[in-house]
Structure 1
């Protein structure tokens, strides 16, 4: 099984690396791409932290990440699902029609999509949230509502996720475990406890 994971400079470090490692446990091949970059190129990650006393999250440099595949070479028909991490990359990639077309493809095919934190900005810009309900970082609520969806607001430090049809969303990195668990279920993989 292959999953497509969108990325770009200043993708949130945990929200990029952790889903890849979780999906690898299930022998899922994750193809990480970024517009205008090739396999072997890197994207710079960022570590976001909700710190007491600050009005918004802080940002520090994370690890450089080597892309696994070339954006221009992907064939969307090869993928069983889509993962969109957060960070700052969604705020500029939501203006890239190629990225929006990717989101539209997965919704048109009703394939599993997992978006966390700012990742919902890409979905809102693609117009795929119309009439739906989802979560994300509370700072993305206006994007989601403007995209025609209802927003489920969770504390950013919670482990809460929201699942609706083919879409699983979460507010931020503390929910990655639950977020990926629900995405894996949408992929049809049965988790036995």
Structure 2
């Protein structure tokens, strides 16, 4: 099974690495791509945290080496899509190639896991109409403008929202439950 994971410079570090490792642990082949970059190129991740200011702060995270070349992927090869947050969705939502890729997963009703600011890409792709989802609170207007219903959670750590093939969560503290529901939608079962 293959899963596509979108990324770009200043992707949220935790929201890239944690899903990647969780899916790899289950034997899923994860292809991490970024438009205009190729396999072996790096993207710079960022660590976002709340430090008591009016908004979150951003610090450099780990550089990440892309596993595949965006221009060479065949979307038909993938069973699901992961859209992390950070700042990359802010600028990639203007890239029609990215929007077309996102839309293709919804057109085929395949599992999509989006978290935090990743919902900005889904809103721009026009796939939130008539759907409900969670996102980082500062993305509520993006969700609503994209035709979706924003699901607000007071606590980030254990909250995930599932609407059909879409699994969404507000921020990285929810990565565990977010990935659990995505893995369930992929049809992967774990036996101990």
TM (norm. structure 2) is: 0.98
For residue 158 of structure 1, report the CA deviation from its aligned partner. Answer: 2.6
Q: Match for residue 86 of structure 1?
A: 85
Aligned residues: 192
Name the SS of the counterpart of 1:176 in structure 2.
helix
CA distance in 2, matches of 1:160, 1:26: 22
8 Å CA contact 1:170–1:179 kept in 2: the answer is yes
Q: Match for residue 66 of structure 2?
A: 67
CA distance in 1, matches of 2:181, 2:80: 13
The answer to whether structure 1 residue 47 and structure 2 residue 43 are counterparts is no
Name the SS of the counterpart of 1:154 in structure 2.
coil
Cα RMSD between the aligned structures?
1.0
Name the SS of the counterpart of 1:37 in structure 2.
coil
Q: Match for residue 160 of structure 1?
A: 159
For residue 165 of structure 1, report the CA deviation from its aligned partner. Answer: 0.4
Q: Match for residue 115 of structure 2?
A: 116
1:143-158 to structure 2, matched below 5 A, reads: 143-155=142-154, 157-158=156-157
8 Å CA contact 1:86–1:119 kept in 2: the answer is yes
- In structure 1, list runs of 5 or more residues that go unmatched: none
CA distance in 2, matches of 1:23, 1:148: 30
Q: Match for residue 104 of structure 2?
A: 105
CA distance in 2, matches of 1:74, 1:187: 20
For residue 75 of structure 1, report the CA deviation from its aligned partner. Answer: 0.1
For residue 54 of structure 1, report the CA deviation from its aligned partner. Answer: 1.1
Q: Match for residue 10 of structure 1?
A: 10
Question: Post-superposition, which runs of at least 4 consecutive aligned residues in structure 1 deviate over 6 A?
Answer: none
Deviations 1:21-73 (A, max 9, x none): 0001110000000000000000000000122x211111100000000000100
Name the SS of the counterpart of 1:180 in structure 2.
helix
CA distance in 1, matches of 2:94, 2:49: 26
8 Å CA contact 1:156–1:172 kept in 2: the answer is no
Deviations 1:87-111 (A, max 9, x none): 0000000000000001110000000
CA distance in 1, matches of 2:28, 2:134: 25
CA distance in 1, matches of 2:27, 2:116: 25
Residues 172 and 32 of structure 1: CA distance in aligned 2, closer, same or farther (over 3 Å) = same
Residues 105 and 118 of structure 1: CA distance in aligned 2, closer, same or farther (over 3 Å) = same
- In structure 2, list runs of 5 or more residues that go unmatched: none
Q: Match for residue 31 of structure 1?
A: 31
Residues 156 and 85 of structure 1: CA distance in aligned 2, closer, same or farther (over 3 Å) = farther
